[in-house]
Amino acid sequence: MAVDGRPGRYLVLGGYGNVGRRVVEELRLARQVVLVAGRDPARSDVVLDLRDPDIGSYRRTLAEVDVVVNASGSERLELAEQAGESGRPFVDISATTSYVTALTELPAQAPVLVDVGLAPGLTNLLTAAVHAEAPHQPIDILVYLGAGDQHGAAAIEWTFRLFGAHFADGTDPVRNYTRPRAFYIPGVGRRQLVRLDFSDQHTLTRDLDIPVRTYFALDSTPATALLRMLTWIPGASRAPRGVHLPGSDQWTVAARAADGTIRWAHGRNQSWAGAVVAARAARAARGLPAGTYPLHRVLALDDLPVDHGFVLGGS
């Protein structure tokens, strides 16, 4: 997408990470100009340490770009605030509910896109499509991920951080990795999924004014059982990282209304799918007025590239 006849210039924070490097590839395939930002000078166009309290180098770099994509895993609000003060759209791929909520509460100085990626992200688009067909029905979001896929450090940290933590479902506190419920997963079969605090369910419940609940499982039943056990063990969030679980790299996400209306997507390598969605969102961000936008207010399923590498389906 070009504005004023020129390609966009994008700063990708964490641009050599598991998702970030694929966002960079997708944008460059679309003939956009991309600056990779990170701590490693050998892999970065712009050397930035987002752990440093002084982010002056980040502020100076904003003058050289049109859009910032945060694929770093850093949840510093200052990054979005500085982008807003410079009039630069900010696209964030975090799934953390509290952080996404804080982004939505920032002053509207530039576009801020939230719920971007696979889940949340593609799940928002599926849910919006189901809601259009069944507008008054509660909707369940199903996130079924490959335990053997290559997960980035930020995604693993997020998964561990949720052990033992609760989130609100209306006035009901829900412990992560509990309340199992059986669903039919398209192309997979009947599986048990558990509740998990993805930000999409909260965004969509507010925005669509219907109950939306997210359920999660890995394609390895023992791996999912392990998560369900760890959530009851004090201190499990500090357990060692780096354990590779058995399973595939295939994923399925779906949105299912109470009347059975369903839309789903299936593919391999969840980081690649999330990057496809994030890159498309970043390109759309250039034409938006100031404000905060969940992904389903910016894109629809039909806006995704036809060669995106995953399959869409539904009733």
DSSP string, 235-295: TGGGS---PPPS--SEEEEEEEETTS-EEEEEEE-HHHHHHHHHHHHHHHHTTPPSEEEEG
pLDDT of res. 245: 67
Compute the distance between CA of residue 177 and CA of residue 194 in angstroms, rounded to an integer: 5
Same domain, 214 and 78: no
Q: For residue 282, which amino acid is it?
A: A
Q: For residue 233, which amino acid is it?
A: I
pLDDT band at 1 (very low <50, low <70, confident <90, very high): very low
Same domain, 224 and 260: yes
Same domain, 195 and 207: yes
pLDDT band at 57 (very low <50, low <70, confident <90, very high): confident
pLDDT of res. 309: 79
Average pLDDT over residues 11-26: 95
Helix (H/G/I), strand (E/B), else coil: 2: strand
Range of weakest confidence among 1-5, 47-51, 149-153: 1-5
The residue range of the domain holding 74 is 2-116+273-314
- Number of domains the chain contains: 2
Average pLDDT over residues 150-166: 86
Same domain, 253 and 293: no
Average pLDDT over residues 155-166: 91
Same domain, 61 and 133: no
Domain CATH number, residue 112: 3.40.50.720
Same domain, 112 and 31: yes
Residue located via tokens 């964490």? 14
- Are 114 and 133 in contact, with CB atoms under 8 Å apart? no
- Are 131 and 300 in contact, with CB atoms under 8 Å apart? no
Which string of DSSP letters, residue by residue, matches 12-25?
Answer: EETTTSTTHHHHHH
Same domain, 247 and 280: no
Compute the distance between CA of residue 75 and CA of residue 249 in angstroms, rounded to an integer: 27
Same domain, 98 and 196: no
Q: Is 156 a residue whose pLDDT tops 60?
A: yes
Domain CATH number, residue 128: 3.30.360.10
Same domain, 226 and 286: no
For 265-278, how does the pLDDT look when each residue is reduced to its tens digit (9 = 90+)?
999 999 999 999 99
Q: Is 239 a residue whose pLDDT tops 90?
A: no
